[in-house]
Structure 1
């Protein structure tokens, strides 16, 4: 007990502790001291131990927060072009990574600011997250 008191005195004085000093503190004593100073303890949620029903109730209370873009913003900012395959091209274009379908001539493509292309309808749905599905950068600036 005397060693623990010495370590606590060092802590109160703001002196640096050695590894051995920290190891002297029993974990339960150390955590017990930390809990005393946690003024927001009653406000913390233990979501790891909540039931499914409690999590659903929490979702209802919190609501839905959207970080994506509105339909209007997507329509105004998304660069569009028609897909055109070039005859005799050595390498085929990669399929749309969202729907995994190949691009067909005349289809509308949407291009994000990072330069990646997708079917325009596919990327409009994805932009509710406003991230590029390939490189995870911001899809369109607000």
Structure 2
């Protein structure tokens, strides 16, 4: 008696194909989540930068002395000058200031108010953010560009 032979995949071939598909799927999902983690990390660093600016505002109110922040274009260093002589610097983490609009020097007075409004554009690794400084009470917010 003759039997017909059917061409089909063997179990080992089917398992190999399923394994390959699952590996490709996992690497794709992992790389997307890694990109999301980097974006979240950058936003966290921008929020830390804004928190640092708010710290200087609070320090000016608590010490009853004005504090000036000096921004430099295309730099990641910000100079801090306190009223009674203390001078120091801090850096923008993983980014640099690419554009300064209307505020080369930001002064927090004794009440925590700022002298003028304006914005800073900060370029990070993956995105660019605009830090907007509002006049009077010194409110600070950011927008992703």
- TM-score of Structure 1 vs Structure 2, range by shorter chain: under 0.3
Structure 1 or 2: more helix by fraction: 1
Q: What TM-score comes out, normalization by structure 2 length?
A: 0.21
TM-score when scaled to structure 1? 0.21
Select the structure that is richer in strand: 2
